[in-house]
Amino acid sequence: MGAPYVLSNPPKVALIGGGFIGPVHAEALRRIGVQVAGLLDITPEKARPQAEKLGIPKVYSTIEEVLADPEIGAVHLASPNNVHYQHAKMALEAGKHVLCEKPLAVSSKESAELAKLAASRPKQAAGVNYNLRFYPLAQEMHTRVARGDLGRILSVAGSYTQDWLLLVDDYNWRVEPDGHTNLRAIADIGTHWMDLAQFITGRHIESVNADLATFHPERNRPIGGAETYTGPNTAKKASEAVKITTEDYGAVMLHLSGGGRGVFYVNQMHGGRKNRLYLEVCGTEGSMVWDSESPELLWLGRRGAPNQLMNRDPSILSAEAGHFSHYPGGHAEGFPDAFKQLDLAFYTYISNGCQGVPNFPTFAEGHREVQICEAIAQSAKARNWVNVEA
């Protein structure tokens, strides 16, 4: 049960961004014995309390200072999307391993350059944090499709819904256009759904037809901004009305390689859904359904035989999926554990000298996600089908 924890001489890590997701990275790394040696945020004054809270000994002032630090072997980019490209490029050129939060970049020009740079440096690991792949039952779905349990893939469908942006007073840097695709819900959570759908089915998204909607044409931005998931402006900080053009909602039809079809929607104003990825895949031999808000259960559908509800239990998981599960059945593994398993895959790959095929999302896959986002933005504007650049 479970990948070995012991990593031989893992690199020390610098974390870029101590906001909502940065601490999740720090905690996951600590659980696998990888030291987070330093933190960079917008200012040292902002970083210092975060570093103290997370037990990170050093605070940096600039990315240059991070990359000049000889004790740092890897960086985790948990900064806003519009600086991922610059930081990832500088870190790779400085010889560091890089794990970048999704999306990899805000344009396919940037992500293509990063994918090419990463490919030119085979002794440096370069990954994108599509953490949902690392729930054990997501791995189980991937394994079952790959070994033919579903037969030919016919369709994949589902949604990714949240309600942290439901209110007009809910605000976050994500609602501001990035100057490229200007996508928000699709780029933020839709890419999770699309990455997982492609990982599980083994099929690529080849063309898209999208419809987007902005339900709050204005939001009240607290002066000084607001972190992710911090809820409405409960402190009643002074705010200003801001026009919003990025989408709260998006629905996308898909054509998959191999002739399959797909459809999904995202909505960040779905009251009551906190952070729910829902995915159902069907093939000629049956279907499977997984819900990230009930991550320990996998529904298996059959024609001519009883349907089953499978608990995550390493004793009945495939060997491949069991590699990503460390706790017996009934001892729930969830969001933080998926981060731990992704980091374990990433740092095991590094400990093995970056040999063989990475078993974590690569920059090439992160680039493809950005290309799909660009096709979605183009499709929504033109109100027709758009092929994803090959």
Question: Which residues in this chain contact ligand SOE in the complex, by CB under 6 A?
Answer: 20-21, 162, 188-189, 192, 228, 275
Q: How many residues does the chain have?
A: 390
How far is the CA of 253 from the CAs of 77, 105, 278, 346, 383, in angstroms?
31, 23, 16, 32, 12
Of residues 65 and 173, the one with the C-beta less far from ligand SOE: 173
Q: How far is the CB of 165 from ligand SOE (least distance, A)?
A: 8
Q: How far is the CB of 236 from ligand SOE (least distance, A)?
A: 23
Q: Which of 144, 139, 158 is nearest to 300 (CA)?
A: 144
Tell me how far apart the alpha carbons of residues 143 and 199 are, in angstroms, rounded to a whole number: 10
Q: How far is the CB of 197 from ligand SOE (least distance, A)?
A: 16
Tell me how far apart the alpha carbons of residues 51 and 192 are, in angstroms, rounded to a whole number: 28
Q: How far is the CB of 187 from ligand SOE (least distance, A)?
A: 9
Of residues 142 and 192, the one with the C-beta less far from ligand SOE: 192
Q: Helix, strand or coil for residue 158?
A: strand
Of residues 135 and 363, the one with the C-beta less far from ligand SOE: 135
The HSE-up count of residue 242 (CA atoms within 13 Å, CB side) is 20
Q: How far is the CB of 144 from ligand SOE (least distance, A)?
A: 24
Q: How far is the CB of 81 from ligand SOE (least distance, A)?
A: 9
Tell me how far apart the alpha carbons of residues 278 and 160 are, in angstroms, rounded to a whole number: 6
> How do strand 276-283 and strand 153-161 relate by DSSP bridges?
antiparallel
Q: Containing H/E element for 306?
A: none
Q: How far is the CB of 125 from ligand SOE (least distance, A)?
A: 20
Of residues 184 and 326, the one with the C-beta less far from ligand SOE: 184
E strand map for 261-336 = 261-267, 276-283, 286-291, 297-301, 308-311
End-to-end CA gap in the chain = 39
Tell me how far apart the alpha carbons of residues 96 and 267 are, in angstroms, rounded to a whole number: 36
Hey, CA dihedral for 101, 105, 108, 112, is it positive or negative?
negative
Of residues 96 and 174, the one with the C-beta less far from ligand SOE: 174
Of residues 275 and 378, the one with the C-beta less far from ligand SOE: 275
Of residues 128 and 282, the one with the C-beta less far from ligand SOE: 128
